[in-house]
Amino acid sequence: MNLPLMPKATAIWLVENTSLSFKQIANFCGMHELEIKGIADGEVGAGIKGLNPITNKQLTKEEIERCSNDTETDLQIIVNEVSTKTEQSKKKKKYTPLSKRQDRPDAVYWLIRNHPELKDSQVARLVGSTKSTIDAIRNRTHWNMANIRPQDPIGLGLCRQIELDEAIAKAERSLKRAEKKKEKEEKERLAQTNENNLEKEESSSVTIEE
């Protein structure tokens, strides 16, 4: 599936300038429908400038009008050099262009603050950082900590919303499994304690009778 260049910025433009449904925009940009609603409500993407997919030659005005008149249809991206390169780059190993590498600490800081459930390995994969950098930012020992400002990695173009959603869902499943394991161990501990107390009571009762 081909996705537009800078999906979130494109979604912002489509929300602001078209009558497309949230679902249509979400499908086209590879994002969650609730996030598109968040954009419309002003809760998501604040400060990000919308990107016109028509001027980028990834959509035509006619295609937008066609889908605006039929909410059951999906927008079809124009497969061109820009969209093809964008898709090919997603299939390759995570690589961050030199121009964006300075943004990675900001993205790491944002993820640590907003999604503490994510493991360091997940954060590293999402933005192409290293565990040592993440650890330094988490512990506020990074050499440039005074200049690091939390910024949404999606807005910075370091990862896609769908990738972040998948990582969060995986982290939440891991936390739930850990909680269930802890609850099970606690129940077993209490059961063993009760059993031991019962044995002591029975032993004391036998001693008294004797």
> Alpha carbon 102 to chain centroid distance?
20
pLDDT of residue 93: 45
Under DSSP, the state recorded for 5 is S
Q: Up-side HSE of residue 112: CA atoms within 13 Å toward CB? A: 22
What is the tens place of the pLDDT at every residue in 149-171? Answer: 999 998 888 888 888 889 998 98
CA distance 80 to 102: 29
The letter for the amino acid at 5 is L
Q: Answer whether 24's CB lies under 8 Å from 67's CB.
A: yes
> Which sign, positive or negative, has the C-alpha torsion 166, 169, 173, 178?
positive
Query: In the predicted model, is pLDDT for residue 201 greater than 80?
Result: no
Over residues 87-104, mean pLDDT: 55
Higher confidence at residue 203 or residue 24? 24
Q: Answer whether 124's CB lies under 8 Å from 173's CB.
A: no
Give the percent of the chain with pLDDT over 90.
30
Q: CB count, 10 Å around CB of 134?
A: 25
* pTM flag (> 0.75): no
Query: In the predicted model, is pLDDT for residue 97 greater than 60?
Result: no
Higher confidence at residue 35 or residue 207? 35
Residues 6+ apart with CB under 8 A from 34: none
